[in-house]
Amino acid sequence: MNEKHFCVIMAGGNKPFLRPTYERFLHIIPRENILVVTLEKYRSAAIAAIPELPPENLLLEPYKRGTAPCMAYAMYTILQRCPDAVIVATPSDHEIRDEQLFAETLEQAVAYVEANDVLMTVGVVPSTPDAAFGYVQVREGKDAWKLRRPLQVKTFTEKPPTELAKVFIKTGEFFWNTGIYIWRAVTIRREMEFYLPDVVEMFSGWETRLRDPEFIRRAYAECPRISLDYGIMERTGRAWLYPAFFDWRDRGRG
């Protein structure tokens, strides 16, 4: 395994899937490079699920502010350890049945990000017009999934009505948005500084103060609530999608 590869598990309240998510990434990420970000009130549950997690790898959020501040907290923590890091960010509530295919897909996507200055999202080829999931449209056109290579993102749509989801499926240009992202730490830092200066400003002084609970509390108290999709991925020109063919369900939304 590559010591420069990191995983950030963004853990909400769906605790039963935290342990399986952690174990899934042990196949592709060094154990000491897996971080969990969760709310302070879920601290005990996170420790119970992953008792072997190093204390410094459990990042506690005082308030729920969305995935963008969550990523900022984790990103700065990782930058302190490894400025050349490649980060895989994932929600904690996914159910994956094809574990081997999942690992192979993520390894290929990480390799692409290492060689290209992009923000990668993993998109699953949809099997049904499910209105519970978000969708990502790519620029390569009809049946783009058949290309089986990284694709350029065109649009994001969050939970469309079923009839619209049916149209999406017919075009062959849309993928289910898994919310799994892959990027270099320096790339996401630069994009955050450009698109989310309000979030970045709240973490001013991170170089020396990230382990100070009061610093984190003040940062989150004033931080805007915003998602990575809305704050960055829908605005950047560096958004790409890696097509995935494993069996996936988001138990947090679907």
Read off the pLDDT of residues 37-49 as tens digits, 9 standing for 90 and up: 999 999 999 999 9
Residue 52 above 70 pLDDT?
yes
- CATH number, domain of 16, equals 3.90.550.10
Confidence of residue 251 (pLDDT cuts 50, 70, 90): low
Cα gap 34→214, rounded to integer Å: 24
Confidence of residue 254 (pLDDT cuts 50, 70, 90): very low
Confidence of residue 13 (pLDDT cuts 50, 70, 90): low
Residue 144 above 80 pLDDT?
yes
> Residue 68 class from Cβ within 10 Å (0-12 exposed, 13-18 middle, 19+ buried)?
buried
Which amino acid is it at 8? V
Least Cα distance to 139 among 127, 157, 159, 155 occurs for 155
Residue 94 above 90 pLDDT?
no
End-to-end Cα spacing for the chain: 32
CA 80 vs CA 73, 83, 88: distances in Å: 11, 7, 17
Max intra-chain CA distance, the chain: 51
pLDDT at 231: 95
Task: State how many domains the chain has.
Answer: 1
Domain containing residue 60:
5-250
Residue 67 above 80 pLDDT?
yes
Span 205-218, average pLDDT: 94
Least Cα distance to 234 among 147, 123, 119 occurs for 119
Confidence of residue 50 (pLDDT cuts 50, 70, 90): very high
Cα gap 73→219, rounded to integer Å: 10
List of residues 6+ apart from 242 with CB closer than 8 A? 105, 108, 109, 112, 120, 121, 122, 123, 150, 151, 182
